[in-house]
A and B are shown apart, each in its own frame.
Chain A
Amino acid sequence: MMKKLISTTALTGVVVGLGMSAAVADASLTIESWRNDDADIWNEKIIPAFNKVHPDIKVTFAPTPPADYNAGLNAKLAGGTAGDLITCRPFDASLDLYNKGHLTDLGSLDGMDNFSDVAKSAWQTDDGKATFCLPMASVIHGFIYNKEIFEEVGIDVPKTIPEFMDAVKKIKDETRYVPIAMGTADQWEAATMGYQNVGPNFWKGEEGRKAVIDGKEKLSDDAYVKTFEHLAQWKDYMGNGYKAQKYPDTQNLFTLGRAAIYPAGSWDITTFNSQADFKFGAFPPPVPANGDECYISDHTDIALGINAASPNKEAAEKFLSWMATSEFAEIYSNSLPGFFSLSNHKVEVQDPVAQEFVSWRDSCKSTIRNSYQILSRGTPNLENELWNVSAQVLNGTMSPEDAAAKTQDGLAKWYKPQM
């Protein structure tokens, strides 16, 4: 592994070094991204729209598969072969790139004032002095459901957790549909669409998230145990063999009409629009009891920054400034329903399910995933631990109390405010 890695980076360094000197003449930009699903939209809509304003800048969208993105990007940046524009993961992954001098400070960029502080917070230094990526979009968690199955079984959209459990029980008892489409083989769904989806209602969104960062609350507190207890209830309603079910399996299970409820990220809307031939809708994570305030995970997920080693910084800044306009926000939000623009421009979302998702911003309080800011900096890595324990709780191999205790113990090992 090691041997191969070093020799290949050395070699690509040479090859691309040659290529770069040839490309300097005309302003051309390459975008590094993990969104390979969106390549068509970039090539057919976004880049042509940009070229109407700036015909002299040639833009190439060069995505890498999501799982390889961080590793590949780091290797390319170290070897000096990365593209001019870098798609930024939220928080520490990008902060690390900035600290290592791979991203430039965008504080003075034209159009940066179109974004709120909350939107920018995922791509700022801890003191908030430097902003190194231009926020693009957030994703919202919730549940997508098959409207036809709900009608057939005769159930309403559940508002509280008891209603939710009654609904899945009814589906299980009366039909052959899978009540909850989710698998634990890939682990991340358990944490992201499970824990981070339903959890904010228990830990009260931002309030709880900040309290853990400040050391005032612990991840083993009641709210977190209750989150895991709720997840543990799901396991009787997930499909046969869900332990070996992967993310694409889950998507197929739902789009084939074999499952009723799909714990979702709003990004799934695009896939479902093209694959499902039944009507589907969405509901926010049910609250523990009637009348409780609702919280949603409205996670700042994607941004764009400039490679500090780019020879085309001027062109790159022009591109980012254009991305801060309402024109981009409009194109992006509507060609990728489920990715919600973070800019302050008022954007009309056309897709009905995406509209449903974004409407929760008015009725519920928004928060982000609690493991993303600061808390995943140490060893053991909190995010990895959450994947692991959430999957184990759903597999029935770990109790909710143990799961909560394990995440807290891990955090207390290195995070001073929690020691």
Chain B
Amino acid sequence: MKTTQTGWLGRFPWHIAVFLAPAVLIYTLFMIYPLLDSIRLSFFTADDSGAISYAGFANYVTILGDPEWRASFLNALYNNLVFFLVHMLVQNPVGLLLAALLSLPRLRLRSTYRTLIFMPTMLSVVIIGFVWQLILSPLWGISETLLYYVGLVDWFEPWLGQENTALVTLSLISVWQFVGIPMILIYAALLLIPEDLTEAAEIDGANHWHIFWHIKLPLILPTIAMVSILTFIANFNAFDLIYAVKGALAGPNFSTDIMGTLFYRTFFGFQLQLGSPTMGATVATLMFLVILVGVLFYLFGVQRRLRRYAM
């Protein structure tokens, strides 16, 4: 028999709340609350005994106003931007290219390639850092020998140790590790394109090149945009590879210092530099703001203009 309840309680869609609850609770407890709490902490300052007191925007004024702090903050921001641009210009185009190659109709060993290219993504960053340091090592590495075989040994340099090459080298190592992610996402999007569309184009006389540029690419643009914003977020949160390879002082001369390593040094301290949780929280909040601005730009500037097609 159907029970009839009246009033607000009866009309409230309880099932929605129940289904949302697990995600909302876990997300609030482990993401939203810590985030808000670290923003709160950034408005405090600690004295010698560790007691904290409210300081308003003093920490932000220090980081953005004090010449020392501003120089290291801007340096980290700039390096992070370079890190991101290398990913955008290398990782995502290469990922797209690999996905396009994988979706060629008459490709053999498709799943083998797919697995091999995706594999580094699943390895620990520490292993990636260690392996690449060995490969590139001027003492024991094989890269010098390999260059010797192709007659380019004069091009060999200790790339990881030079100010002008270390950051790009590390970025490329990270690209090598993560190129599988754009590849797999774009590949999945390409698979979703119905064959009638490409067949119809073929009948109309289009070649592979035309089909890719005029049919497939517009259809996967939303995926490419999503990959870009994921790359942005991941890059501005990056820390582990730099820390594993160059340590928290991100040398030489801070040329590989990114927001994550700057945060680490500030929050935890380093060697004789004492850690400051409040200053660290300020750096973390600034990182959050940089990412927030990027994501908002994407949401309002890019995503709304993307045209989606029903397939």
Contacts and interface: CB of A to CB of B under 8 A. Distances in A.
A91 interface: yes
Interface stretch (B28-36, B200-208, B302-310): B28-36
Interface residue SS majority, chain A: helix
B248 interface: yes
Given A2-B263, A93-B274, 19 more contacts: A2-B34, A2-B38, A2-B280, A7-B34, A93-B269, A100-B48, A101-B49, A186-B251, A244-B137, A244-B158, A249-B139, A379-B69, A383-B271, A384-B249, A384-B271, A388-B249, A391-B251, A395-B161, A397-B163
B169 to A, nearest CB: 9
A1 B31 CA distance: 11
A114 interface: no
Contact of A387 (B30, B133, B136, B249): B249
Contacts of B35: 2-3
B145 to A, nearest CB: 13
Contacts of A75: 268
B249 A185 contact: no
A413 B272 contact: no
Interface string B256-271: 0000100110011111
A108 interface: no
B159 interface: yes
Interface stretch (A36-44, A198-206, A234-242): A234-242
A298 B73 CA distance: 36
Interface residues of B, number: 51
Nearest to A376: B272
B38 A240 contact: no
A388 B248 CA distance: 12
Interface stretch (A66-74, A221-229, A269-277, A303-311): A66-74
A187 B247 contact: yes
B133 A246 contact: yes
Interface string A179-198: 00001111110000000000
Contacts of B248: 67
B270 A384 contact: yes
Nearest to A388: B253
Interface string A294-335: 000000000000000000000000000000000000000000
Nearest to A383: B272
A379 B49 CA distance: 19
The 8 A-B residue pairs with the shortest CB-CB distance in the complex, in nearest-first order: A241-B138, A243-B161, A244-B161, A71-B268, A244-B158, A241-B158, A376-B272, A383-B272
B10 interface: no
A388 B269 contact: no
A277 B263 CA distance: 43
Contacts of B275: 70-71, 74
A198 B34 CA distance: 47
A245 B161 contact: yes
Contacts of B160: 185, 244
A410 B159 CA distance: 29
Contacts of A74: 268-269, 275
A242 B158 contact: yes
Contacts of B34: 2-3, 6-7
Contacts of B284: 1-2
Contacts of A96: 48, 274
B252 A1 contact: no
Contact of A100 (B50, B158, B159): B50
Nearest to A3: B34
